[in-house]
Amino acid sequence: MTKTILRALAGEVLPTPPIWMMRQAGRYLPEYRATRAEAGDFLSLCYNPELAAEVTLQPIHRYGFDAAILFADILLLPQALGLDLWFATGEGPRMSTVTTEAEFDKLGQGDMIHATLSPIYETIRILRRELPSETTLIGFAGAPWTVATYMIAGRGTKDQGPAHGLKAENRPVFEKIIERLTETTIEYLSAQVEAGAEVVKLFDSWAGSLKGEDFTRYALEPARIITQELKARHPGLPVILFPRQAGQGYIGFHEATGADCVAVDDSVTPEWAAANVQVSGCVQGNLASSHMVTGGDALVAETRRVVKAFSNGPHIFNLGHGITPDADPENVQRMIDTVRAGV
């Protein structure tokens, strides 16, 4: 029988939605923390295929999710393009910046990314051998706008101000960055598929800070280009797009991009998303990740609410954003049990 995630992505309405969780391999799990300590640091873990495969498999062994998502990071691509990348303890990623024509001209392009990223492809090959036969393997990348915000600022920012500033002050360089990221994201995801990824997901975590025409040009259009080119190279490949906090921009996103599934965050209600987004195809989401921390009856009630709201169309159950490090692993099990018990 075809894997449940693939059936939902093909538009099938299933009696029980398949389930996985963004950042399911992560710091909330003691076994992840042990493996990361063995690796030495976060980037060493990303680039060690055996250990990266191990942490990808940990939540599958513990919970039996319907999909595993490759353990990697969205900033590995700009590192492969030639930027310095490091993680400051307790502060998150730091990287060298691209804000001028001269800095842009130093970036790599095309196939040169694969020398750096080859360990990621090896992780995928290991996973295809070791994952249970019923578990779908999802590859991923960051969307061009979101990755660009880090490249321009050199770090994560609350309002993506530096990227918006460059867009306003030096649009030609800004657009060159978006174009280079669009081109190389296609190459990166295509190589993931060739290594064995069955589905790919594009994370546009900061899409919501783009408004009006900017949302169309720098969130929707790159997603469309990437989706269409990947489908041309790999016929039948399912693509999940996640323009987080897109609000009204979620409406019509399937049709405009060719996505098989649109993931929605929890700033919109599941009822709204069912009425406005699921009418166009499979939806993924959208339980608030805070329930993985607080648990209790509210977790069960909200999980049932999400399942019920999306029960008339194709649905992949997930959180509205990634699980946080302070989550209780027992709450994850309770969520899974609630989904699989039915409404």
Active site residue 23: yes
Tokens describing residue 190: 């295509």
Spell out the residues 6+ positions from residue 52 whose beta carbon is closer than 8 angstroms to its own: 45, 46, 70, 71, 72, 119, 120, 123
d(CA 125, CA 49): 9
Closest CA to 107 of 78, 150, 73: 78
Active-site residue identified among 23, 180, 244, 334? 23
Specify the length of the chain in residues: 343
Closest CA to 31 of 47, 64, 54, 49: 54
Using DSSP's 3-state secondary structure scheme, residue 18 falls into coil
Using DSSP's 3-state secondary structure scheme, residue 198 falls into coil
CB atoms within 10 A of CB 179: 13
Active site residue 36: yes
Strand segments, DSSP code E, in 33-179 are: 67-69, 85-88, 92-95, 136-142
Active-site residue identified among 7, 33, 36, 233? 36
Active site residue 27: yes
Using DSSP's 3-state secondary structure scheme, residue 122 falls into helix
d(CA 285, CA 134): 21
Active-site residue identified among 62, 73, 94, 128? 73
Spell out the residues 6+ positions from residue 168 whose beta carbon is closer than 8 angstroms to its own: none
Say if residues 69 and 19 touch (Cβ distance below 8 Å).
Answer: no
Active site residue 233: no
Active-site residue identified among 63, 150, 188, 218? 150
**Look-up: residue for tokens 């399912």?**
238
* Cis amide linkage into residue 312, ω under 30° from 0: no
Q: Which residues are catalytic?
A: 23, 27, 36, 73, 150
